[in-house]
Amino acid sequence: MSAEGNQAAAPVVVFRADASIEIGTGHVMRCLTLADALRTQGADCHFLCCEHQGHLISVIEAQGFTAHRLPGVSQVGAVQVDDTQPDHAHWLGTTWEHDAEVCLPLIMQLAPDWLVVDHYALDARWESTVLAEAKANPVTRLLVIDDLADRHHHADVLLDQNQGRAAEDYIGLVPAACQVLAGPRFALLRSEFAEMRGNSQARRRQQPRLKRLLISLGGVDKDNATGRVLDTLKACHLPDELEITVVMGPTAPWLDDVKTSAAELPWPTEVVVSVSDMARRMAEADLAIGAAGSTSWERCCLGLPTLMLILAENQEGIARALDAAGAAICLGRPEQLADRLCHHLSALQVPHPLQAMSHAAAQLTSGEGVMTLCHTILQEDVSV
């Protein structure tokens, strides 16, 4: 805990993460997964968030956490940045100095035992400034959640849950004493994925066939890749008994268009929003069409074979690594769908390819990474 006389107090954990139409929902959602697990262990968790278009502050609050709205920020991309900033600096909607300035009073007030930063726009400059100024609680420790290995961090612990990532990728980017947790075995998944893992794998070991198709291309899908997939499916030869489920986020700008496209398909197709049972839906699906984002590890945990799309530059490495591992088939960018989607759907209508992909995916993560990270935080033990 943060002070000798406060051993009985609940540990305080503060998260700095944003969601928006451009950022997507993944950063906030994986932080919510960690916060929920920490709360079950007695921690008091708070979020610091900008009110960008497409933010998830109401979702955070609906799950019972306090979300502190950061004042004085513009929309994503509204502030000019220079070459000294991270590639995603425009995501802040302000300068990192101003972001640190508005975060600092809240951090000093909350005096967290751990500060968790999951934001591509922030680096060691923000982190060092905030920690140096937060003198009210000088033993605050820093956990950084990253996927890029493209900038410096002033972290005690760094988590990069992506396939193909190694601790060595962060040499020179973090302090020598920083513990780097690398690879999908540390993926932050909600407990229901680990709970459903056994039954999901057992079902797939039996004669699998393509009866249920799950399409989930991120909580926002700002460029309507989902609509492009549905339009392409019209030209594919698929089983008559196929059932399709499309999962969208509440802030998805193309939701109405997707519903229209779904109604035009020859197979029963439902479009669902803000689902609370994603693990069950994945466990019951025979194949997914999904983005190479954080939900990749949910699908892997359950052994769900996936045709994977690259929707952002930072997803390229994940998609290629999962394809190389046999855990998914990378379709490339949405504009390449017409040449590849129907071909691969046809090839996956026999059992063996589905079984092989399922087995390879399930080897990558067991879904217990969040509990490993909780132990690290609550025990203040970074020797994992």
CATH 3.40.50.2000 intervals, the chain = 195-362
Report yes or no: 69 and 40 within 8 Å, Cβ to Cβ: no
Burial of 16 (0-12, 13-18, 19+ CB in 10 A): buried
**Count of residues making up the chain:** 384
Q: Please tell me the predicted confidence (pLDDT) of residue 206.
A: 86
pLDDT tens track for 3-42: 444 455 899 999 999 999 999 999 999 999 999 999 999 9
Q: Please tell me the predicted confidence (pLDDT) of residue 336.
A: 87
Judged against a pLDDT cut of 80, whether residue 303 lies above it is answered with: yes
Domain with residues 195-362, CATH architecture: 3-Layer(aba) Sandwich (3.40)
> Which residues does 132 contact at the CB level (< 8 Å), separation at least 6?
none
pLDDT tens track for 338-369: 879 999 999 999 889 999 999 999 999 999 99
Judged against a pLDDT cut of 50, whether residue 384 lies above it is answered with: no
Closest of 96, 313, 192 to residue 104, by C-alpha: 96
Q: Please tell me the predicted confidence (pLDDT) of residue 255.
A: 95
pLDDT tens track for 215-272: 999 889 999 999 999 999 999 999 999 999 999 988 899 999 999 999 999 999 999 9
Q: Between these two residues, 137 and 96, which has the higher pLDDT value?
A: 96
**Pairing mode of beta strands 306-309, 114-118:** unpaired
Mean of per-residue pLDDT scores for the chain: 92
CATH 3.40.50.11190 intervals, the chain = 4-189+367-379
Q: Please tell me the predicted confidence (pLDDT) of residue 115.
A: 97
Report yes or no: 49 and 17 within 8 Å, Cβ to Cβ: yes
Q: Between these two residues, 378 and 48, which has the higher pLDDT value?
A: 48
Judged against a pLDDT cut of 50, whether residue 211 lies above it is answered with: yes
Q: Please tell me the predicted confidence (pLDDT) of residue 12.
A: 95
CATH for the stretch 4-189+367-379: 3.40.50.11190
Predicted TM-score (pTM) of this structure: 0.90
Q: Please tell me the predicted confidence (pLDDT) of residue 202.
A: 94
Judged against a pLDDT cut of 80, whether residue 134 lies above it is answered with: no
Three-state DSSP class for residue 10: coil
Measured over the CA atoms of residue 356, residue 358, residue 364 and residue 366, the dihedral's sign is: negative
